[in-house]
Structure 1
Amino acid sequence: MGTPTQDFHAFFEQHHAELSRLAHLLLGSSDGPDSADDLAADALVAIWHRWDRVSAANHPLAYARGVVANLARSRIRSRTRERRRVALFWSRYGEHTDGPDVPAVLDVRAALDRLPYRKRACVVLRHAFDLSERETALALGISVGTVKSQTSRGIAELERLLTQAPAPAPQGERGAPESLRVLRTGPVERSS
């Protein structure tokens, strides 16, 4: 064990990519490619400021995941409030349209974007990061029972959304659609 700075640097090097990927999956694709890295960086800055407490905790990575999840939730809420303000403005002063174009085929990312935050967080942590129910509960600060119910409901909703596509998604491990494996194995898409 080295100095606190060395310990934090090692933690950063070991977990930054995972925390960035978690942020990307929780935020969805509408925030842009760099927002997940920014959120992960913000989380790591917050962790650095509390490093003495975090490093002494039984599960520092679970704490870090919780910070990412909380920051993502705040950002999503902020984004939702902003969209409501814009929609209210356009409903009063703008032109009405028939609504957004909906693609014929929903992919996993688009389906995840449509899930409520807690369901999305549970599905992502359980299936993309392969965390246990207990680890997921610890990261999100909720009960194991809530993780079970939110994951089950989230998977059911994803299956419903994904079966709206021409070909239904085949079933994989733990009853999740096979296409959820892209969350675990696929690299985070980044644009240059």
Structure 2
Amino acid sequence: MDAEESFLAYVRGRTVALSRIAYLLTGDQHAAEDLVQEALLSVVGRWPRLVRNGDPDAYVRKTLYHRYISDRRRRLPQPFPTANLPQRVMADPAPAVARGVVVRAALARLPPRQRAVLVLRYFEDLTEVQTAEVLGCRVGTVKSQTRDALARLRVIAPDLAIAADLPEPVGSVSEVP
């Protein structure tokens, strides 16, 4: 199999998974598709070398995350229109769907690096060391970004902690209104 066939086979096999990751990062289907395309375009020229060196998937994911963070730095923050959504009564939404909406909305309110760390750690199920490798930072940075992101999620989406039955972090004080 030549490099072009190998790349096309990879794209056919991994586009769905990469799109899911990109959607969790961007919170927008169109932006996610663009992000995946940009990442794959930047990888295609290096493909023969990546295949020779072993598993190209790690490099593609790393490119995806770096591209996302770098794009977010260049753009002005876009408002996420969750506050303006119309109130609709749903017949009986499945709890998983409702939780998914809350998760996406909460992720959208996090800074790009915190969002990337959470997606890598909890949706991609990478270790702290693997996450640091993908993001090109130290393990301590991953730990602090994770801690800060989870603390922020507890504030902006307290329903997630209740739904997941998460304990309060050690040393925290719950505010009672």
TM range (shorter): 0.7 to 0.9
1:120: how far off?
A: 0.6
Gaps of 5+ in 2: 88-97, 170-177
Q: Which of 48, 53, 64 is matched with 1:52 structurally?
A: 48
Closer, same or farther: CA 168–59 of 1 in aligned 2, 3 Å:
same
1:156: how far off?
A: 1.8
Once the two structures are superposed, what CA deviation does each residue of 1:154-183 show, in whole Å capped at 9, x if it has no partner? 1121122111x59933336xx9xxxxxxxx
1:123: how far off?
A: 0.4
Closer, same or farther: CA 70–167 of 1 in aligned 2, 3 Å:
closer
The alignment of Structure 1 onto Structure 2 pairs a total of residues equal to 153
Gaps of 5+ in 1: 85-99, 176-192
1:141 maps onto 2:136 in alignment: yes
8 A Cα contact 1:122 1:151, kept in partner: yes
Query: Which structure has the higher relative contact order (CA within 8 Å, separation 6+)?
Result: 1
TM-score by length of 1: 0.67
**Percent identical:** 38
Which residue pairs with 1:122 in the alignment?
A: 117
Secondary structure at the aligned position of 2:162 is classed as coil
Closer, same or farther: CA 167–159 of 1 in aligned 2, 3 Å:
closer
Q: Which of 66, 87, 95 is matched with 1:70 structurally?
A: 66
Letter in 1 for 2:76: T
Q: Distance in 2 between matches of 1:67 and 1:136?
A: 13
Which residue pairs with 1:13 in the alignment?
A: 12
Which residue pairs with 2:146 in the alignment?
A: 151
Bigger mean CA offset, 103-112 vs 56-65: 103-112
Secondary structure at the aligned position of 1:34 is classed as helix
The two structures, once aligned, show a CA RMSD in angstroms of 3.1
